[in-house]
Amino acid sequence: MSESWKELADPFIDLANQLAAEGKPIDLVAGAFLYAAARYSAFVTLLAEEEGHARSRDAQVEVVVNAFRADLLKHLGQRPIG
């Protein structure tokens, strides 16, 4: 059985919670995670371009933005989050 996205994401969420527990400002932690997600998404996009499997950059940005928006709205509707 392959790992799910949630199982892969849990260690990152744990790290964010640890950083917040250590006193790092939540907006700084959130910004760092957004930066890291954007950076890694750019890496994946560039890798796909090199391998000839890429959408246009604009289309790929739309895919990432739409996925983020959908997940954010889903999680905002959950109480409690966790």
17-36 pLDDT, tens digit per residue, is 999 999 999 999 999 999 99
> What's 3's DSSP letter?
P
Question: Does residue 82 have a pLDDT over 70?
Answer: no
CA distance 4 to 30: 22
Does the reported pTM lie above 0.85?
A: no
pLDDT > 70: percent of the chain? 94
Structure confidence by residue, pLDDT tens digits, 32-42: 999 999 999 99
pLDDT score recorded for residue 65: 94
State both tokens at 61: 């940005």
H helices of the chain, in order, are 5-21, 26-50, 57-76
> What's 79's DSSP letter?
S
CA distance 63 to 18: 30
- Mean pLDDT, residues 42-56 taken together: 89
